[in-house]
Structure 1
Amino acid sequence: MSSIKIIPFGGVRENGKNMYVAEIEEDIYILDCGLQYPENGLLGIDSVIPDFSYLVENKERIVGVFLTHGHADAIGALPYLLASVEVPVFGSELTVELAKLATTGYPGSKKFTDFHIVNEQTEIDFPTSTVSFFRTTHTIPDSLGIVLGSTEGSIVYTGDFKFDHSAIDMYKTDFGRLAEIGQKGVFALLSDSSNAENPAQLVSEKQIAEEVEDTVKYWDGRIVVAAVASNIQRLQQIFNAAHRANRKVVLTGRNINEVIQVAIRLNKLTLPSDELIIKYQEMKNYQPEELLILETGRHGEPIKSLQRMANQRGRGIQLGEGDLVYITTTPSTAMETEMAKTENLVYRAGATVRTISDNIKVSGHGSPADLQLMINLMKPRYFVPIQGEYRVLAAHADLAHDVGMDYRNIFLTGRGDIIEYDGKRMHMAGSVDAQNVMVDGIGVGDIGNIVLRDRRILSEDGVFIAVTTINRKTRKVVAKPQITTRGFVYVKDNRELVEESAKIVEKIVEEQLVDNDFEWSKLKQEIRDQLSRYLFEQTKRRPVILPVIMESSQRRK
């Protein structure tokens, strides 16, 4: 009898940030280590990663990190984990190369070298498990599912997958291997739920390639294509379409050159012509109808970059009459508002917008029928839907029930929930800390709810600064309060408000100076409280109030 625990650290009840832990006996196996790009409410945040506290506390038990593919939602948080815990990392050839790009770009992990390349034929024996892999179909080559052996049966993690029977060799699913895993017995299946509630029929990548080619071929002006840098399959389709339409490609994303060079070196991507890609400076030598600009944006997310182009703030590339913006990435539900805003800006700039999903249903994740086929092939004893918001996980649970699984053997988890096997059955067994960790610049985890609240207030109601100078020896105000405000009110039209605020501050300071229990913190808090009440009464707004008290020590003559 094995002691088994499954703990999701991300990827459940949210989009992205996939990271799951399987504990077999005393050993910890980490499945993916991804990040999540922030939604609009996380002002200034670059990315969100899992909380590694539990793993740091138990680092001596970690066997390794096993990666399914090279997208940011699977490998993006790896540099931050490896900065705290040095453990072996296993992945396919392309996945490892993309992981190396991520780790070398972060100071805390740039010296890490313990990478191991695996494929669908690899088996690795550990004291508590034999780890093996199987090929899956996704939008990037070398995608793998992971199998952890145990005495109770296999724990199978699908990673991102779909079934596409027309996929070319490097993207094909090995159905025979899936059936073999199912025949040997699957204890628990952790399966991608992204499209569980969407009944629309997905088209094959062959049909997508034809759609991309038609769009590029029949547009007379310049084309700006928005794509995700790590979606290698989409990049290949764009390059092929540009070549056949006799267009030159200009790359504008920050990291797309590195991704493309890695993919070409590993024969995962092929340029139809050595002259296909031109430098940014060479654009002036070509007519608009001879150009295709491939925009992947910061971190491979192109939408913000399109907004800058539409607002005439792009790096020399500004959208205008005759341009076509072709969006080949499918946004998550959380990004739909941002997408609508982007399309509106593009049209206002005089350009035209088309999206790849206008005429066809495009996704790198399986349809409900695909998800049910995976369950039927695996025939798991227990089922854990992962990767998606709660409603998507619940829809996947219903799909599993429809093919014969008992709801009692299906677990809808939250971050940090522990599912434990007690020798008789799996059950919920408490939780570990697995909060979101914010990454802002070089800071990791130093931004919390208080800072985010202040940023939100600053963005909505602005800042109100009151500066005054005092002399504590004479207990007098040396310089009367000076008021500065940004993003709150227009000072010239609100002189009475500013003058009255200065009087309030001066009165508070004078009262505090004669108090024998004078404290700096007490003085500043009193200013914040009284000013906040007054300003709200007058404006119904609550700006961030910053009292600045300077001390002067004037000498007597």
Structure 2
Amino acid sequence: MSTKKLRIVPLGGLGEVGKNMMAYEYGKSILIVDTGIMFPENDMLGIDYIIPDYDYLRDKSHRVKGIVITHGHEDHIGAIHHVLSDIPAPVYATRLTRGLIEVKLARQGMLDKAELHTVQAGEKVQIGPFRVEFFHVCHSIPDAVGLGITTPAGLIVHMSDFKFDHTPVDGWPTDYAKLAEFSQRGVSLLLADSTNSERPGWTPSEKVIGPALDEVFAQAPGRIIIASFASLISRMQQVADAAVRHGRKLAFVGMSMVDNAKMARQLGYLKIPDETLVPIDQALKMKPKEVVLMCTGSQGEPSSIIGRLSTGTNRQFDLQPNDTVVLSSHPIPGNEEVISRTINRLLRRGANVIYDAIAPVHVSGHASQEEQKLLLNIVRPKYFMPIHGELRQLRHHAVLATQVGIPEQNIVVVENGQVVELVDGHIRLGERIPGGYVFVDGRSIGEVDSDIMRERERLAQAGIFVVDLSVDRHTGRLLHEPEIITRGFVSPEEAERLIPLARRKVMNLIKNNSAVEEQDIANAIRSLLYNETKRRPMVFVTLSRA
């Protein structure tokens, strides 16, 4: 009798918030679910974003039968162009999600090369040995789906980001009947979003945002600038509805926001009257009281429009007196400090700033504890595997599962890279594979490693001290005085005192030992600088013999 073994390979999103990516492997066939990015943490200097480490799949790309995307947020589609460049597999997504993917691939010049298939909730698609059933779930973006994946090893329910919102903005609640149907068929393994597993109760409905926006629009004396994610189509609709109710014109600002809004309108997911929508150039010429601008930057990113407005460096327009800035999002874990600084800078520049701590201008798109427990009670899986969250959130989700009767031995909590196997109806841990960070820095993908990040951190903390000198290769004498440059180490006034000391130190070393090496000079300079300042900058010495 042959063994029926399904391998579940978490490549991203387990042990962290972001870069969600899962691979299901049965025999010689692989199904990928989601290909997301993660935003860098404060100490990841110079990094644009982070993608999953999918090196495990590179030499198996011919075995990947398909890539299924659950919804259009960046932490689920952001790495799609990276993955498709190495794994040219068919992509399956709902209409809006496909539209967002197309916008992203078009920017990379990859749209013509990608094989994209449109699916909709309620459809079943056979992808190799995997029969994938798409069912609707509520999230903070329309057209989000969960997956029922029937394999020879059993039925898997992959519940990506979700919430149980009975009054969603689009009027389409989660498909509870499908979840109950899965339960009747017998679910071998449920994988479910853990983001809000530490939050008691129920996540509020998106409907509460409408009245909060009405209050902002009614009280704002001048322009309203609303910051959100460019993929948050439902928030665009709520802002547009508020603009219509209060007689303001709406302008989208920034390429990603403009492109996504245009695409969503074309597909019918964003309904804005033509007379309400105006280009940004026109909006800037109108009376402040008549305008609302919607842009990116709700996470305080320095390069975003809100980030640049907070520092006075935005080229297209600047803050005006009486501007009201609304940050319509929750801080991504690790971004709290950046967002606080951005809010403070906006306030100093005269803006009135509204954010979720003082008004319900954002609600989470993720299920809280009672919704997570309800999902477990509806599906009643044999085994449960928390996904999408930091380790503490995964562990707490596991505790919730025990509270509703899932045996502790039937719950598996793992992080990226820990393979899980479902074999003949029983679950076990497999081997570990790489599951870390792949840093994207400009055009560099994966070339920046942890050693480089540590160097950047040291440079940022202590500064640099560079000594350049040339000596005669025959006599060993200096050809000119050492040139010394320092950055981020001491003030210019202090440098005027230290540089002559360092120069004399180097000249004495060369005079006493013409065969002295770069490392010896560097060590001597480090000692001198520490004795003078009690600080340790990075010291670089270049020695050329001419």
Secondary structure of 2:382's counterpart equals: strand
Q: CA deviation at 1:200?
A: 4.7
1:2 aligned partner, one-letter code: K
Q: Distance in 2 between matches of 1:301 and 1:343?
A: 12
Secondary structure of 1:20's counterpart equals: strand
Secondary structure of 2:448's counterpart equals: coil
1:159 aligned partner, one-letter code: S
Match of 1:64 among 63, 66, 70: 66
Q: Distance in 2 between matches of 1:232 and 1:10?
A: 24
- C-alpha contact (below 8 Å) 2:88/2:114 kept by paired residues: no
For 1:95-174, what aligned pairs fall within 5 Å after superposition? 95-106=97-108, 109=110, 111-168=112-169, 171-174=172-175
Secondary structure of 2:37's counterpart equals: coil
Q: CA deviation at 1:501?
A: 1.1
CA separation of 1:126 and 1:231: change in aligned 2, threshold 3 A: closer
Q: Which moved more, 1:421-430 or 1:112-121?
A: 421-430
2:541 aligned partner, one-letter code: P
Q: Distance in 2 between matches of 1:415 and 1:509?
A: 53
Match of 2:538 among 544, 548, 554: 544
Q: CA deviation at 1:340?
A: 1.7
Q: CA deviation at 1:538?
A: 1.7
Are residue 77 (structure 1) and residue 114 (structure 2) matched? no
Report what 1:275 is aligned to. 275
Are residue 197 (structure 1) and residue 198 (structure 2) matched? yes
CA deviation profile, 1:373-416 (whole Å, cap 9, x unmatched)? 11122111111101111111111111111110011111111110
Are residue 358 (structure 1) and residue 358 (structure 2) matched? yes
Report what 2:233 is aligned to. 232
Q: Distance in 1 between matches of 2:108 and 2:504?
A: 50
Q: Distance in 2 between matches of 1:54 and 1:510?
A: 56
CA separation of 1:534 and 1:151: change in aligned 2, threshold 3 A: same
Q: Which moved more, 1:37-46 or 1:203-212?
A: 203-212
Report what 1:519 is aligned to. none
Secondary structure of 1:278's counterpart equals: coil
Q: Which moved more, 1:251-260 or 1:208-217?
A: 208-217
Q: Give the total of aligned pairs.
A: 543
Structure 1 regions of 5+ residues with no counterpart? 516-522, 553-557
CA deviation profile, 1:343-365 (whole Å, cap 9, x unmatched)? 21122112211114534471101
Q: Distance in 2 between matches of 1:424 and 1:99?
A: 36
Q: CA deviation at 1:24?
A: 2.0
Report what 2:293 is aligned to. 293
CA separation of 1:70 and 1:127: change in aligned 2, threshold 3 A: closer
Report what 1:555 is aligned to. none
Secondary structure of 2:335's counterpart equals: helix
Report what 2:253 is aligned to. 252
CA separation of 1:324 and 1:357: change in aligned 2, threshold 3 A: same
Q: Which moved more, 1:533-542 or 1:256-265?
A: 533-542
Report what 1:22 is aligned to. 24
Q: CA deviation at 1:298?
A: 9.9
Report what 1:471 is aligned to. 472
Identity of aligned residues (%): 33
2:82 aligned partner, one-letter code: Y
CA separation of 1:298 and 1:530: change in aligned 2, threshold 3 A: farther
Match of 1:535 among 524, 529, 537: 529
Report what 2:46 is aligned to. 44
Please tell me the root mean square deviation across aligned C-alpha atoms, in Å: 2.2
Q: CA deviation at 1:457?
A: 2.2
Q: CA deviation at 1:418?
A: 1.0
Q: Distance in 2 between matches of 1:89 and 1:256?
A: 23
- C-alpha contact (below 8 Å) 2:17/2:333 kept by paired residues: no
For 1:255-266, what aligned pairs fall within 5 Å after superposition? 255-266=256-267
Report what 2:313 is aligned to. 313
Q: Distance in 2 between matches of 1:178 and 1:541?
A: 61
TM-score (norm 1): 0.92
Report what 1:2 is aligned to. 4
- C-alpha contact (below 8 Å) 2:195/2:389 kept by paired residues: yes
Q: CA deviation at 1:301?
A: 6.0
Q: CA deviation at 1:111?
A: 4.5
Secondary structure of 1:322's counterpart equals: coil
Q: Distance in 1 between matches of 2:525 and 2:169?
A: 67
Q: Which moved more, 1:40-49 or 1:144-153?
A: 144-153
CA deviation profile, 1:484-539 (whole Å, cap 9, x unmatched)? 11221234434342112112333444566447xxxxxxx33333222222212221
